[in-house]
A = this chain, B = another copy of it.
Amino acid sequence: MSKIPVGVLGATGMVGQSYIALLTNHPWFEVKYLAASPRSAGRKYRESLVGRWHLRRGYDAALIDEITVEDANDVEAAVAAEKKGGLAFVFSALEMDKDAIQKLEESYAAAGIPVVSNASANRWTLDVPMLIPEVNPGHTDIIPLQQKARGWKKGFIVVKPNCSIQSYMIPVWALLQAGYEVKRMIVNTMQAVSGAGYPGVPSLDLIDNIVPFIGGEEEKSEKEPLKILGAIEGTAIKNAAGPLISAHCNRVPVSDGHTATVSMEFGNKKPSVEQIKEIWKKFRALPQELALPFAPEQPIIVREEANRPQPGKDRDADKGMAVSVGRIRSCPVFDIRFVGLSHNTIRGAAGGGILNAELLKAKGFLG
């Protein structure tokens, strides 16, 4: 099988670079189309990157470096590539203002190019699914409705949620699915700087310091789970009623890996600590059944050590796609508490986007 040609919008930014790095040797997808700001357009990727590769992992320069970067605003260029068989869909890692991204993603979709987005712009668009493939793969059912309502033929938009919720969202879902209502959660995140992109957080703010605030992050951490757990009603995804979440979001001097401490209150039926461990250890979902290339073998890894998970040691678990949990114990105030951790630029960003695309491909949405 020849690989599906994919594009990356925002290819020179931090998330765009992550896509390019993670798609190296991908069994299904091959990066063939790169677009970025007008400033980079017209130059080879190699040239547009000089001194601006910010990741610690590299990429396959032989395949990528000589691609000429297009202007991301030029949807026609993408259409032309698509017509020549050089582009099947795009990953959107655009870094512009919200309205501009929303419009641009719509333009690509309208032009027949599916958009698998990382941006927050369309997360609250009612007919756009916000996917975590282990949690709400069924939300792809809204895609035909989205296409019909917009008059789009082949194109569509799907998004992924914010990186800050990844460390507790799959664990919450596993408990819900096992029949335990999660009523309320108080969450404290300790987030890595890569979540802020590049240049992101100045060194002066994080040497011998932490910053107990990240603009907009607490709102996302509290509300996005409700859409993910919601249900399609008519042509919209309607939010779930719960769980009710309070999030305290902090920036800490860690490069990659968001850690969250969670206190959780259940409804009437309350699992024991041992039951929770069992549920999490055994949890598997559609990506595992379908054996999607980026799906972790075990979506949730339960650590038994007293002092784990830690971002430095656990972020790369199962190539950065597994969530690690530990310190599962009873909570004096709510029912249980634990520590969750996920890799924010892999599971929480580009890796999550790739898994979304794999799900869409497996379901036949990508031709």
Contact = CB atoms under 8 A, between A and B. Distances in A.
A198 interface: yes
A56 interface: yes
Number of this chain's copies in the assembly equals 4
A199 B332 CA distance: 32
Contacts of A208: 207-208, 253-255, 311-312
B203 A206 contact: yes
Interface string A259-278: 10101000000000000000
A252 interface: yes
A209 interface: yes
Interface string A221-264: 01000000000000000000000111010101111000101010
Contact of A207 (B213, B254, B305): B254
Sorting the interface of chain A by its residue count into under 10, 10 to 19, 20 to 34 or 35 or more gives: 35 or more
A364 interface: no
Interface string A299-313: 000000111111111
Given A188-B261, A200-B204, A248-B263, 13 more contacts: A51-B306, A186-B263, A193-B203, A194-B204, A199-B204, A200-B202, A205-B310, A205-B312, A207-B208, A208-B254, A208-B311, A209-B312, A213-B307
